[in-house]
Amino acid sequence: MYKRCHFCGETNLAVYKRCKRCNAKLGGNNLLSFVFAFCGVLFYIPANLYPIIETNKFIINYTNTIIDGIFVLWQDGDYPIAIIVFLASVLIPVLKFIIVFYLLYSIKKNDCSFIKIKYNLYRFVSITGHWSLLDVFVVVIISGLIHSNSIFVVPREGAVYFLIMVIFTVLSVIYLDLDELKEKCGRNCRS
């Protein structure tokens, strides 16, 4: 098992507490993880309140927030796409926030119960973290592909807020240090 230094990028053996190149502490910074997660929540609110996309058809303009887009897809009968957008844009980000704050709370309170479940939750948020960028990529691809004299699509400020939220949540997971909980509990917790 290896750990990567957040400062210089050196790959170190997991048994090392400090980086062999720059002597920085290996592992995360839970305070910084909390700050990033909190900023992610702050940007998640306007990401859902502001329009994420604007569609211009002839002379009519439509702006849709994430939730509006889900409802439009559902009403048009595109149930699988509506479910995927709901999962990727609403449910998974909220679950990630809840899980990250739960893990940070567990570390702060030295809660050693259900440690294997906590590691599995950490794996879940680290795997799904980058997939939240899917929404932003879809908006950018649609706006790049659909341009004609009568119809065009423009990304709006909600997409920017969503992108910033995803970046903050990915950073919060990167800096989350569950090994600190393992050290405080004094046993090998990984499965």
Judge whether 100 and 173 are in contact, CB under 8 Å: yes
Q: What is the DSSP letter of 26?
A: P
Q: How many residues does the chain have?
A: 191
Q: Which two tokens stand for residue 93?
A: 């980000």
Judge whether 51 lies within some domain.
yes
pTM > 0.75: yes
Is the pLDDT score of 34 beyond 80? yes
Bridge partners (DSSP) of residue 64 are 53
Judge whether 7 lies within some domain.
no
Q: What is the pLDDT of residue 44?
A: 95
Judge whether 106 lies within some domain.
yes
Q: Count helices and strands (H / E) in the chain.
A: 8, 5
Rounded mean pLDDT of 125-151? 78
Judge whether 140 lies within some domain.
yes
Range of the domain at 66: 28-185
Judge whether 3 lies within some domain.
no
DSSP-derived 3-state class of residue 25: strand
Judge whether 40 lies within some domain.
yes
Tokens 């479910």 found at: 83
Looking at residue 139, its amino acid is V
How many structural domains does the chain have? 1
Judge whether 159 and 144 are in contact, CB under 8 Å: no
> CB neighbours (10 Å) of residue 179?
17
Rounded mean pLDDT of 106-120? 86
Tokens 């009519």 found at: 60
To the nearest whole number, what is the mean pLDDT of the chain? 84
Q: pLDDT confidence of 190, banded at 50, 70, 90? A: very low
Query: How far apart are the C-alpha atoms of 34 and 100, rounded to whole Å?
Result: 8
Judge whether 154 and 56 are in contact, CB under 8 Å: yes
Judge whether 14 lies within some domain.
no
Is the pLDDT score of 191 beyond 50? no
Judge whether 109 lies within some domain.
yes
